[in-house]
Amino acid sequence: MGAMYSVYPLTAEIKPWLDEMSVEYPPSPEGRNPHLAEIQSALAQLEGYSIKALTAEVGKTWQALLESTQGPEENGWTLLSIIQVTDGPNDFYFEKGWPDLIVKIMHLISSFTGPLVLICDAGDPPLVVSADADPSALYEAWGT
């Protein structure tokens, strides 16, 4: 829970690295980073979580704290961050949190963006998350 989770779109540039790591990914399409509205829409689809988000301003940091409404020990929490909001696609990451919740959020976002790659700074193998995959099965197979 103390790790940082970087997120990258699945692109031709990252596929050779995933091949070296023996990480499976869908053959197509490639992914892209999400627009802020897509992230917000994905978060709104989560049930059982409260969301406390900063006001979004182009050029500024934006964060959303998600916490289980059933208590911190039930499905946990995470902090999703955008370093600098743009009018277009945004780089984002998760600053700590429960990995199963992070995978669930990425699954929802990937329905807008296409496949995304999750990389944990604790040394776990990368995980490719796509909208057509079962997030629970992805998390279990990832084994963090």
Using one digit for the tens of pLDDT, what is the confidence trace for 12-31? 999 999 999 999 999 878 99
Q: Is residue 40 over pLDDT 90? A: yes
Q: What is the pLDDT of residue 143?
A: 66
Question: Domains along the chain?
Answer: 4-142 (3.30.310)
Q: Is residue 75 over pLDDT 70? A: no
Q: What is the pLDDT of residue 2?
A: 74
Token pair in block for residue 26: 């869908």
Q: Is residue 102 over pLDDT 60? A: yes
Round the average pLDDT of the chain to a whole number and report it. 92
Give the predicted TM-score (pTM) of the model.
0.93
**d(Cα 86, Cα 71) in Å, to the nearest integer?**
33
Closest CA to 114 of 29, 17, 11: 29
Q: Which residue has the higher pLDDT, 143 or 128?
A: 128
Which residues lie closer than 8 Å to 128 by C-beta, 6 or more apart?
A: 10, 18, 23, 24, 25, 26, 115, 116, 117, 118
Q: How confident is the model at residue 124 (pLDDT cuts 50, 70, 90)?
A: confident
Closest CA to 126 of 30, 22, 26: 22
